[in-house]
């Protein structure tokens, strides 16, 4: 028998690989269709543009994926982007230091994430409720802080984070691959990752196996918050201006990217790389609609259909295994 050699691959990880392969195939199919339909699609400029847009979505959704793996949810990521960006912006304006501003942005994001973690893990609130409440609180504080003003015009060194290039490739794309590697390493190659999957698969069994549930939950919400803080910097650098309501449009697309990527809201199933493919699929479709000059008002409908299709597909394939 080949237990240890792993020649038989009928396992959970093989299922993950299959999930991702199907999605990559779907992404390729979309590319083929768009290449045929539009002259502009298969140009270096456009493809880099797609990657840059996907990178922001992925940075936000990668941390969120870890939360969803524990059968949790973080609805406050969009509000988090708003607050982190606005406070980072004013620190840069006040001190003139991009580094200090960036550290503040990630720090604010991390703090919001820690607060979510405490509400969920220590005060035992349902994640939906805790982070939904946090969404409003963070929005409220940001609006009060900004009082309707706009902060704009940042040093070029900072702006490079969002709109700069290295070897012709946008900087955020490098960030995307760095965090893909970090996220995948954390989820698959550390015992923390193993415990996070176990919590999502059966929280009580994980608890009775000695997994410190509260610590791990606080960790994933903190990571999700810090990633929102980082995403806010990329967004701020790209937009070169900050207002109280930036970020509001990001929460639902980030959840969509994770779901399209095969992460289950019931927890215990999904991968960070799947979320990257999910972000790519979503961005490709929206990019294609732009190129084909389809009215932007159709975008929510199309996003919804893709999410439903992806989840329906998973339900079908997972039923087959059961």
Partner 1 sequence: MNTSVPLLELRGISKQFPGVKALDDVSFAVYPGEVHMLVGENGAGKSSLMKVLCGAYRADEGEFFHCGEKVEIRSPADARKLGIAVIFQEFSLVPYLSIAQNIFLGREFSGRFPGTVDHARMHAEAKKLLDLLGLDVSTKTLVHELGVAQQQMVEIAKALSQQARILVMDEPTAALSDRETERLFTMIRQLQADGVAIVYISHRMAEVFSMGDRITVLRDGRKVASLLPGEATPDELVHLMVGRSVDRSYARTFCKTAGEMILEVKDLSSANGVKGINLTVRSGEIVGLSGLVGAGRSEVARAIFGADRVTAGEIRLHAAPHRGGPDKAVAAGIALIPESRKAEGLALIRSVCDNLMLPGLPLAFPNRLYKTSKARQIAGALIDRLRISTPSALRPVRLLSGGNQQKVVIGKWLGSGSRLFIIDEPTRGIDVGAKAEIFALIDQLVQQGAGVLMISSELSEIVQVCDRSYVMRDGRIAGHLSREQLSEESILKMGVHHE
Q: Which positions touch partner 1 (CB under 8 A)?
A: 1-6, 8-14, 188-195, 197-198, 201-202, 204-212, 268-269, 321-322
Question: Which of 91, 118, 93 lies closest to 225, judged by CA?
Answer: 118
Please identify which residue in the block is written with the tokens 């760095």: 178
What interhelical angle do 98-117 and 127-146 show, nearest 10?
A: 150
- Residue placing its CB nearer to partner 1 in the complex, 201 or 223: 201
Least distance CB 183 / partner 1 (angstroms): 15
Nearer to partner 1, 273 or 303 (CB): 273
Q: Which of 101, 82, 102, 284 is nearest to 175 (CA)?
A: 102
**Nearer to partner 1 among residue 20 and residue 88 (C-beta):** 20
How far apart (Å, rounded) are the C-alpha atoms in residues 12 and 269? 9
Q: Which is nearer to partner 1, 231 or 269 (CB)?
A: 269
Which residue, 293 or 319, has its beta carbon nearer to partner 1?
A: 319
| Distant-in-sequence, close-in-space partners of 212: CB < 8 Å, separation ≥ 6 | none
Closer to partner 1 at the Cβ: 141 or 214? 214
Nearest to 313 by CA among 276, 281, 273: 281
Least Cβ distance, residue 21 to partner 1 (angstroms): 17
Please name which of 189, 256, 223, 229 lies closest in space to residue 70, comparing C-alpha atoms.
Answer: 223
Q: How far is the CB of 84 from partner 1 (least distance, A)?
A: 28
Which residues have C-beta within 8 Å of that of residue 272, sequence separation ≥ 6? 62, 65, 66, 180, 183, 184, 186, 187
For residue 264, count other CB atoms closer than 10 A to its CB: 19
241-242/169-170 β-pairing: unpaired
Q: Least distance (Å) from partner 1 to the CB of residue 198?
A: 5
Q: Whole-number minimum distance, CB 312 to partner 1, in Å?
A: 19
Closest distance of CB 14 from partner 1, Å: 7
Output the smallest distance, CB 240 to partner 1, in A. 40
- Cβ proximity to partner 1: between 149 and 190 the closer is 190
Residues 6+ apart with CB under 8 A from 265: 68, 71, 73, 259
């Amino acid at each position: 028998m080949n237990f240890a050699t792993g020649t038989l691959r009928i396992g959970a990880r093989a299922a993950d690989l299959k999930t991702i392969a199907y999605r990559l195939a779907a992404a390729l199919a979309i590319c083929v269709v768009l290449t045929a339909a539009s002259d502009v699609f298969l140009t270096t400029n456009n493809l880099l543009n797609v990657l840059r847009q996907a990178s922001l979505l992925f940075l936000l959704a990668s941390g969120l994926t870890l939360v969803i793996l524990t059968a949790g949810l973080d609805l406050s990521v969009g509000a988090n982007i708003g607050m982190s960006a606005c406070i980072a912006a004013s620190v840069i304006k006040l001190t003139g230091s991009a580094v200090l501003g960036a550290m503040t942005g990630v720090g604010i994001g991390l703090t919001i994430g820690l607060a979510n973690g405490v509400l969920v893990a220590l005060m035992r609130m349902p994640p939906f409720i805790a982070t939904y409440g946090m969404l409003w609180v963070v929005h409220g504080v940001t609006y009060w802080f900004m009082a309707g003003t706009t902060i704009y015009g940042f040093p070029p060194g900072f702006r490079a984070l969002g709109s700069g290039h290295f070897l012709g490739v946008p900087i955020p794309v490098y960030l995307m691959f760095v965090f893909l590697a970090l996220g995948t390493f954390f989820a698959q190659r550390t015992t923390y990752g193993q415990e996070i999957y176990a919590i999502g698969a059966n929280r009580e069994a994980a608890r009775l196996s000695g997994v410190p549930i509260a610590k791990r939950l606080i960790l994933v919400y903190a990571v999700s918050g810090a990633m929102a803080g980082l995403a806010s910097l990329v967004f701020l650098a790209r937009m070169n201006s900050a207002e109280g309501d930036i970020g509001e449009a990001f929460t639902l697309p980030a959840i969509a990217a994770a779901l399209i990527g095969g992460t289950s809201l019931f927890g215990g199933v999904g991968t960070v790389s799947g979320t990257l493919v999910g972000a790519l699929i979503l961005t490709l479709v929206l990019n294609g609609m732009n190129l084909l000059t389809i009215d932007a008002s159709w975008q929510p409908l199309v996003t919804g259909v893709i999410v439903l299709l992806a989840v329906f597909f998973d339900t079908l394939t997972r039923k087959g295994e059961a």
